[in-house]
Amino acid sequence: MTVIVQAVNLTRQVVSGELPLVILDKVSFEVMAGESLAILGASGSGKSTLLGLLAGLDLPSSGSVMLNGQDLFALNEDGRARLRGELAGFVFQSFQLLPALTALENVMLPLELRGSPDAKQRATESLQQVGLASRAHHLPKHLSGGEQQRVALARAFVCQPKILFADEPTGNLDAATGAQVIKLLFELNQLQKTTLILVTHDEALAARCGKQLRLVAGRVAK
C-alpha cells in the first residue's frame, strides 16, 4: 500500500501575550491510501488545527506534510491550492454551501472550476448517490440540516478525491440524521476507495475508522 498522507514533527505555535502557545507539538503519523483515520481529542486539543495543516489551509511553525508524495509546504500558496484541487475534498460541520446556488449548482461548482464539460451530469449523479435527486433545484435554506450535509458530501465526492478531510461532519446534526450521514460517508469512502481523515469527538464514529489518532494538549497520546 502507498503512504498518501505523512506528517513529520508537525508543530504549530502562536504568540499569546508574551509567551508562545503551543497548539501542536511534534505530531508525526502516516495514513495509507484508502484507509480511514479519526482524529480525536478534547476541545482545544488541536484537532481542527491539525486538519487545516494536513490540507495546507494553514502553515506550521515547523515540520512537514507529504501529500501523495509531494512536500506540501515546499509549494507556494497557489501550488498548495492546486494540489488540494487535484487530491482533496472537504466536508465541514457548518456545511459551507453557497446560499444563492441550488443543491445541483453547489455540487457542480468544483467541477466547473476545473472546466469539466460534463459538470451537470456528474453533479446530478452525485446527488442521486446521496438520495437527493428530487431536491436538486432547491436552495440550501429550503433543505434540512441533514439534506444540506448530504449535498456537501455529494460536492466533496463529485471530483472523486483521493483524500477526504471531514471536520466534525455530524456536529450540527441530531443523532438519527448524523447516523445516516455517517453511513453515507463510509459507503462513498468504500465505493471510491477514498482516504478518509476526519476530526470528531464522537467515539462511535471514530470506532468505525480503521485508525484513531488521539491528541492530548497538542501531542499524540501514546
Average pLDDT, 10 consecutive residues per value, the chain (222 residues): 94 86 94 94 89 93 95 94 89 87 95 90 92 94 92 90 90 82 85 91 88 93 82
Domains of the chain: 3-220 (3.40.50.300)
Q: Which of 11, 13, 30 is nearest to 22 (CA)?
A: 13
Instruction: Tell which residue, 193, 182, 195, 120, has the closest CA to residue 146.
Output: 182
| Positive or negative torsion for Cα 65, 50, 84, 151 | positive
Closest CA to 85 of 109, 62, 106, 58: 109
Q: What angle do CA 169, 6, 192 make, to 5 degrees?
A: 50
Determine the pLDDT at residue 85. 85
pTM summary value: 0.87
Q: Which residues pair with 208 in a beta bridge?
A: none
